[in-house]
């Protein structure tokens, strides 16, 4: 049986009919065409599919699309104001070489958005703990941690 | 890596969920946080005919103080909420210490305290804490409610005392005992991985500083939470000296746990970890009992 899913993603409303077994990650990519959310392990280990669900970082591969009915989602496409104007966190990743292949990056960014809202001036241990659920196979994490430090320093300067 | 087809129901009330659970019996599965259930379905280890989603029911989550000074938590309380609640740190500090060791922040944002208890993975932290603190489980069905003590609740590997027509409604932690210290320690290959071994320790001191009561409960070293009562009993009426702690750690590691070994750790290595972790946990718990008497 098909179920109606009506939800908001990055401030825009969508409505689709879905099978219950459709994962939220596949719904976002294939039904909504928002392919910035990546799919890695599909069992909650890699963190590549991390999105915001009512403002909280969650694994979209461990949720069903039907569960998102009536909820508000955020994906990496919602971060930059426009193609030419990146989010400060994205700028920091660029500046600090926080990515190489970029596969893990959307999940890492979406993990960090609520983390930085809650911890505006995190120390390195807190940053590493926040990133513990996101795997990166390129950078060895050091540059990612640097990027977060840069982003948090920049944000506290501009506030 | 995609679930097999199933029907889906998202009831608004516990009564409706109980009626669905009774109608579908073991063909149905309850969906709480889904952080273990959905992966198992993605792998097709589980292929339920129907999922009964508990997430739209109001009133199944939340934390409150009980009249006796303990804490009562609705089964659908998110792990992240338990982790952040100041009352948990104050009135169930062992639970507070275990929370950040459960998987990753993204998992704890969805995962529920009740879901992890009912799943009863031997490598999970929450069942171990429940046994160590003598928590009480309140299970609902269409016939009413019943209360089950933690040590009877966990029956075996992934088995708890909840029938297919029942739903875990709440978990109660008793009031924190005075003059008591605690520690929850585990070893995992990476932060957030399932632990190779872990232990929860609670010690209660008498007025003279000797151990009146101790509790040692192990994670991933048996079919479920392993309550090492003999080792803990060795500490009774003893000062918690390094020698006494060593004797308890050796006994538990040699005789009470039942490690099976896995691809990451042999059974011998798990016994070694149990010994070392018990020493650390009891040392920390003893110091905390001395420094934080109430």
Interface of A with B in 103-122 (CB under 8 A): 111, 115
Count of domains observed in chain B: 3
Whether residue A49 lies inside any domain: the answer is: yes
A64 to B38: CB separation less than 8 angstroms, yes or no: yes
Per the listing, tokens 């930059």 go with A80
What is the C-alpha to C-alpha distance for residues B288 and A79, in angstroms, rounded to an integer? 45
Residues B165 and B232 in one domain: no
Whether residue A17 lies inside any domain: the answer is: yes
Task: Find out whether B20 and B52 touch, Cβ atoms under 8 Å.
Answer: yes
| Closest-CA distance of chain A to residue B110, Å | 7
Q: Each residue of B99-126: pLDDT tens digit?
A: 999 999 999 999 999 999 999 999 999 9
Work out the pLDDT band at A154, boundaries 50, 70, 90.
low
Whether residue A82 lies inside any domain: the answer is: no
Whether residue B286 lies inside any domain: the answer is: yes
Residue of B nearest to A26 (CA): B2
Residues B110 and B193 in one domain: no
Residues A70 and A41 in one domain: yes
Residues A73 and A92 in one domain: no
Q: Is A124 on the interface with B (CB under 8 A)?
A: no
Among the partner residues A50, A67, A128, nearest to B55 by beta-carbon distance: A67
Work out the pLDDT band at B294, boundaries 50, 70, 90.
low
What is the C-alpha to C-alpha distance for residues A7 and B106, in angstroms, rounded to an integer? 21
Residues A53 and A102 in one domain: no
- Complex ipTM value: 0.93
Work out the pLDDT band at B20, boundaries 50, 70, 90.
very high
* Domain end marker among B113, B147, B173: B173
Per-chain mean pLDDT for chain B: 96
Residues B132 and B222 in one domain: no
Q: Each residue of B162-221: pLDDT tens digit?
A: 999 999 999 999 999 999 999 999 999 988 899 999 999 999 999 899 999 999 999 999
* Domain end marker among A77, A102, A117: A77
Residue B221: domain span: 180-291
- Lowest mean pLDDT: which of A6-15, A150-159, B179-188, B192-201? A150-159
Q: Each residue of B251-267: pLDDT tens digit?
A: 999 999 999 999 999 99
pLDDT at position B129 is 98
DSSP chain A: --EEEEEEETTEEEEEEE-TT-BHHHIIIIIS--TTS--S-SSSSS-TTEEEETTEEEEGGGSBGGGGTT-EEE-GGGTSSBTTB--HHHHHHHHTT--SS-SSHHHHHHHHHHHHHH-SS--HHHHHHHTTT---SSS-SHHHHHHHHHHHHHHHHH-
Q: Is A51 on the interface with B (CB under 8 A)?
A: no
Among the partner residues B2, B39, B105, nearest to A44 by beta-carbon distance: B39
Residues A54 and A109 in one domain: no
Residue A68: domain span: 3-77
| Closest-CA distance of chain A to residue B55, Å | 8
Beta bridge partners of B213: B204
Among the partner residues A21, A53, A111, nearest to B2 by beta-carbon distance: A21
Residues A71 and A111 in one domain: no
Residues B67 and B162 in one domain: yes
Residues B112 and B15 in one domain: no
Whether residue A83 lies inside any domain: the answer is: no
Give percent of chain A with pLDDT exceeding 90.
91
Among the partner residues A57, A63, A115, nearest to B34 by beta-carbon distance: A63
> CATH number for the domain including A112?
1.10.150.120
Whether residue B2 lies inside any domain: the answer is: no
Count of domains observed in chain A: 2
3-state secondary structure chain B: CCCCCCEEECCCCHHHHHHHHHHHHHHEEEECCCCCHHHHHHCCCCCCCEEEECCCCCCCCCEEECCCCCEEEECCCEHHHHHHCHHHHHHCHHHHHHHHHCCCHHHHHHCEHHHHHHHCCCCCHHHHHHHHCCCEEEEEECCEEEEEEHHHHEEECCEECCCCCCEEEEEEECCCCCCEEEEEEEEECCCCCCEEEEEEEEEEECCCCCEEEEEEEEECCCCCCEECHHHHHCCCCCCCCHHHHHHHHHHHHHHHCCCCCECCECHHHHHHHHHHHHHHHHHHHHHHHHHCCC
> CATH number for the domain including B142?
3.30.465.10
């Amino acid at each position: 049986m098909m179920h109606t899913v009506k939800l908001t993603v990055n401030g825009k409303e969508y409505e689709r009919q879905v099978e219950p077994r459709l994962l939220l990650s596949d719904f976002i990519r294939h039904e909504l065409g928002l392919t910035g959310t990546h799919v890695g392990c599909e069992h909650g280990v890699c963190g590549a599919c991390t999105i915001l669900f009512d403002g909280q970082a969650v694994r979209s591969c461990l949720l069903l699309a039907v569960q998102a009915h009536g909820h508000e989602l955020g994906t990496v496409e919602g971060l930059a104001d426009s193609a030419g104007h990146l989010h400060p966190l994205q700028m920091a990743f660029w500046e600090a070489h926080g990515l190489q292949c970029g596969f893990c990056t959307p999940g890492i960014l979406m993990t960090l958005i609520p983390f930085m809202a809650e911890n505006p001036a995190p120390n390195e241990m807190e940053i590493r703990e926040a990133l513990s659920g996101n795997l990166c196979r390129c950078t060895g994490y050091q540059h990612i941690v640097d990027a977060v430090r840069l982003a948090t320093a920049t944000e506290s300067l501009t506030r | 890596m995609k679930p097999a087809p199933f029907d889906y129901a998202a009831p608004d009330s516990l009564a409706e969920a109980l009626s669905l659970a009774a109608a579908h019996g073991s063909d149905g599965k309850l969906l709480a946080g889904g952080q273990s259930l959905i992966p198992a379905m993605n792998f097709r280890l589980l292929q339920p005919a129907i999922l009964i989603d508990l997430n739209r029911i109001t009133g199944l989550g939340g934390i409150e103080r009980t009249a006796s000074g303990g804490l009562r938590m609705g089964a659908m309380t998110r792990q992240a909420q338990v982790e952040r609640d100041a009352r948990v740190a104050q009135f169930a500090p062992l639970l507070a210490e275990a929370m950040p060791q459960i998987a990753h922040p993204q998992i704890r944002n969805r995962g529920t305290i009740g879901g992890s208890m009912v799943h009863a993975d031997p490598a999970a932290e929450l069942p171990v804490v429940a046994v160590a603190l003598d928590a009480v489980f309140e299970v609902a069905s269409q016939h009413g409610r019943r209360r089950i003590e933690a040590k009877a609740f966990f029956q075996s590997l992934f088995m708890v005392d909840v029938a297919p027509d029942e739903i875990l409604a709440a978990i109660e932690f008793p009031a924190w005992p005075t003059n008591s210290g605690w520690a929850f320690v585990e070893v995992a290959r990476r932060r957030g991985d399932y632990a190779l071994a872990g232990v929860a320790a609670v010690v209660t001191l008498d007025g003279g500083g000797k151990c009146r009561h101790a509790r040692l409960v192990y994670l991933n070293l048996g079919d479920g939470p392993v309550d090492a009562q003999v080792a803990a009993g060795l500490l009774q009426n003893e000062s918690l000296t390094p020698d006494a702690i060593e004797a308890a750690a050796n006994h538990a590691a040699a005789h009470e746990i039942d490690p099976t070994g896995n691809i990451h750790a042999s059974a011998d290595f798990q016994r070694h970890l149990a010994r070392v972790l018990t020493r650390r946990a009891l040392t920390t718990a003893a110091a905390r009992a001395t420094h934080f008497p109430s």
